[in-house]
Copies of this chain bind each other. A is one copy, B any other.
Amino acid sequence: MQPVRIGILGMGTVGGGTVKLLAANTAEIARRLGREVVVTAAASRNAERAERLCPPGTAVGTDVFQVAAHPEVDIVVELIGGTDVAREAVICAIENGKHVVTANKKLLAEHGNEIFALADKHNVMVMFEAAVAGGIPIIKALREGLAANQIQSVAGIINGTSNFILSEMRDHGSAFSDVLKEAQQLGYAEADPTFDIEGHDAAHKLSIMSALAFGTPIHFDACYLEGISKLESQDIRYAEELGYRIKLLGITRKTEQGIELRVHPTLIPECRLLAKVEGVMNAVLVQSNMVGETLYYGAGAGASPTASAVVADIIDIARLLNADSAHRVPPLAFRQSGETLRVLPIEEIISSYYLRVSAEDEPGVLSDIAGILAAQGVSIEALIQKGVINHQTAEIVILTHRAQEKRIQSAIAQIEALPRVAAPVTMIRMESLHG
């Protein structure tokens, strides 16, 4: 058979990794696919770099639209990043009848619904395994491997930078800002780390997984977002004393009231596999009604792992070039959209909670706090009073049973209004990750 012809947009880390992978694993890929995958065109701001990396004979230039519309390209691989040029280039490719592979989570989280509708209109495939959890084939699992299930929830460690920082904070008892500096020196965090540490990156990935899991459009705008920059090292320590680890989780869950869609630091029991995912690694736990829980673990970033996912998509598309849509898995897993599911505002979610209250060490404070929680219908699973800081202030750490968040928020407001409570109450959500 004729080789499959690829056009690559953007020749940065992942673009370079993709070209190198296709060269290194040529024989294996051809043996699997029954035909070769060749890069026929590539566009990069740095045309010299592209020229150096791409095989001889590749049409290399700086104009991404030229590659997106190139007559000798079957599949356009978008590795530009961002949403401006990338969006226009993907639209251009689709309108020219090209299939698209992208690693761009931001593009899909923000414009995926538009892009998938356009792809449907033009009868082309858009695939994006690399957009979520790098080299872990989690999109394939959600779309195909678990296709016989009703998926109930997805919870993932899907930002390596944040997980590295939390692992280091715990291992060395360090403060957030010190570990962030270390992560920046190691190249695990960007000079401007906001996107990773404040949860935006995780929210992009989570929004995509939520749509795949539940058969809804992508609802990135409604995703609740809370990063790790305000986490204090004593909370990591107290959590550990109580048998928990704190991880930045993306959680999406289908409930009768709607969909939970939230990214925030989360206490999870230390016995759970997710609690043991350390450093920059990623893992996603899926709960579904037939298979129960399955977990997928691996490298969530990096040139080679991301290229592995990009090329897996290329191979999948190559098998189905020219096939009609009945042969294809729909991009968001479902052909027909389900009933309309709203995303629950954070006040309506149900979770357990870790609360830390600093209060004057006097009799009565504890009973005031317990009384406020009881009045809100929140029951206490565990309570410890921690070392008096200056013989006057005590730290009270409370783990609650499951309750609706608005009740916790009311209770916190009332606790903070107590005359003998000193500082804002620290609240971290807590998930058992069972069911």
Chain A contact residues, CB within 8 Å of chain B: 1, 21, 24-25, 28-34, 129, 134-137, 140-141, 144-150, 215, 273, 276-277, 288-299, 304-305, 307-312, 314-316, 319-320, 323, 326-330, 333-336, 338
Which chain B residue shows the least CB distance to A148?
B311
CB within 8 A of A140: which of B33, B145, B149, B304? B145
Take A1-B326, A28-B150 as given contacts and tell me if A292 and B296 are in contact as well, using a CB distance cutoff of 8 Å. Answer: no
The CA of A310 and the CA of B291, in the complex, are separated in Å by 11
Contact A326 B319 (CB under 8 A): yes
Shortest C-beta distance, A310 to chain B (Å), equals 8
Contact B273 A290 (CB under 8 A): no
Q: Which residues of B contact A29 (CB under 8 A)?
A: 147-148
CB within 8 A of A148: which of B25, B289, B295? B25
Number of copies: 2
CB within 8 A of A292: which of B30, B304, B335? B304
Q: Which residues of B contact A135 (CB under 8 A)?
A: 290-292, 294
The CA of A328 and the CA of B315, in the complex, are separated in Å by 11
Which chain B residue shows the least CB distance to A22?
B148
Q: Which residues of B contact A144 (CB under 8 A)?
A: 137, 140, 144, 312, 315-316
Contact B312 A146 (CB under 8 A): yes
Shortest C-beta distance, A300 to chain B (Å), equals 10
The CA of A185 and the CA of B295, in the complex, are separated in Å by 29
The CA of A333 and the CA of B31, in the complex, are separated in Å by 9
Shortest C-beta distance, A204 to chain B (Å), equals 21
The CA of A28 and the CA of B146, in the complex, are separated in Å by 11
Which chain B residue shows the least CB distance to A295?
B297
Contact B308 A149 (CB under 8 A): yes
CB within 8 A of A32: which of B296, B297, B311, B333? B333
